[in-house]
Chains A and B, each alone.
Chain A
């Protein structure tokens, strides 16, 4: 850092007054993006609410096809990954780059566990013909348990909400790998860890969405 004065470190772009202002601006920008994300998922939650109000008995019946155990395990996995992201940010704040990288790796691993479980859930359902919308083609046994004429609509909502959420998890995995590589190149320190902080915010939001999806889809009695 010899070439840069203390008042204007290398990571501060020229249009910011100081490192703090740059950090706060980036964080606020991320929150504005998260507002957009909440309203994006909000449209799907809105569809959920409308159809649950129209056909409450459909939701009770169809939720029996979802596996509470694996949904619960995935909830624990995502909460664990949120904890490790929070620990990763803490490591960066304390200038512990090794701890940052280890926590990022654990987060990536947990996110992959989530996606693998999700894959097997989808695989199992699609095998039984439990597909969304016009692809609805269940086996006779399933049709007996799930005779509701709008059952395909429930699974349209289920696949759309969990699918878009799963896409967010995949994007999150990509971002964590990017952070891991940059941390390895020595880009982050307690002075500059903005990308870690705002990726953390994104990841926590993905966790937040799942906190609502789990009881609303899997835990209907």
Chain B
């Protein structure tokens, strides 16, 4: 925020290809790991760890949050916080019912 007309960050083609390559490798990895037949809950945990790793690469570098104003990152984190809140409150209901609603 120094002068007006500051330059937008331009990622190099090499950087973008590296991120794309990383996402490709992680996609292969998640398929390989799913074929190992890890016992629950490690299958879900490993799948989610890889998915969040990929999500970080996309958000930070393709969407440019790494170079962007922190406020936009805050918006993304805020969305995740409210998502977790929604899931938590819902599970507090659904996991402690005497009987599941029959038609569900």
Contacts and interface: CB of A to CB of B under 8 A. Distances in A.
Nearest to B10: A93
What interface size band does chain B fall in? 35 or more
Interface in A52-84: 53-54, 56, 68, 72, 75-76, 79-80, 82-83
Interface in A143-157: 153
Nearest to A83: B20
B5 interface: yes
Interface of B: 4-6, 8, 10-11, 13, 16-17, 19-20, 23-24, 27, 30-31, 34-35, 37-38, 40, 43, 47-48, 50-51, 54-55, 58-59, 61-63, 68-69, 71-72, 75-76, 78-80, 82-83, 86-87, 90-91, 94-95, 100, 104
A32 interface: yes
Contacts of A219: 30-31, 34, 47
Contacts of B59: 204, 208
A24 interface: yes
Given A18-B4, A31-B76, 7 more contacts: A20-B5, A35-B78, A50-B91, A50-B94, A56-B40, A85-B62, A219-B47
Contacts of A85: 62
The secondary-structure label for the interface of chain B is helix
Name, among A35, A54, A87, A215, the residue most crowded by chain B CB atoms within 10 Å (CB to CB).
Answer: A215
Contacts of B50: 215
Contacts, number: 138
Contacts of A86: 11, 16, 19-20, 61-62
B79 A39 contact: yes
A32 B75 CA distance: 7
Contacts of A90: 10-11, 13, 16
A54 B47 CA distance: 20
Interface in A9-26: 17-20, 23-24
A23 B79 CA distance: 22
